[in-house]
Amino acid sequence: MPPRLRRAVLTTHVVTSVGWLGAVLAYLVLDVTAVVGRDLDRVRSAYVAMELTVLYAIVPLALASVIVGIVNALGSPWGLFRHYWVLVKLLLTLVATAVLVLETQTIRALAEAAASGADPRELPGTLPHSVGGLVVLLLVTVLSIYKPRGLTRYGWCKQQEQRRNRGEQSTALMARQPDS
């Protein structure tokens, strides 16, 4: 991938990932408000806002982050399957996105129940998922920053192949140079 395109993809990945994290934090505030709030209208509004936040911010940002992250990894020296930290990051992100998409049905049902006129203060909220999602996203962020060492078997083979190719190129260049 050309450097200019690579920077654009990386920027898009950072923006969508940070946006996802920020939207989850906003959702968590709404979730806590819905679960512990006593004001009927505020709790009702929190559930409705939770649904809107998930459908129009969190899910689109999560899907964009996954897609752009895969493109970013494939176009970078890190690769998608070469380093354990990239692979773990991918798996955590895919699991988080799958759980999120499945959880949208529950969130929609909670919002509909809250808007129906029933007392929403008795609804369970989604705090375990909110907190769990936040923890997973923070872990993915830490992996992105610290990049722990460790090549996968595929990465090790690719590294050896690159070293052999560099050695062959170096030998070929030396053979072409005239003796002094």
Per-residue pLDDT of the chain (180 residues; tens, 9 = 90+): 899 999 999 999 999 999 999 999 999 999 999 999 999 999 999 999 999 999 999 999 999 999 999 999 999 988 999 999 999 999 999 999 999 999 999 999 999 999 998 899 999 999 999 999 999 999 999 999 999 999 999 989 988 998 888 877 767 667 777 665
pLDDT at 117: 84
Gap between the Cα atoms of 2 and 10, Å rounded:
12
pTM summary value: 0.87
Residue 1: predicted pLDDT: 86
CB 27 within 8 A of CB 91: no
Beta bridge partners of 83: 151
Burial class (CB in 10 A: 0-12, 13-18, 19+), 111: buried
Q: How far is CA 9 from the centre of its chain?
A: 14
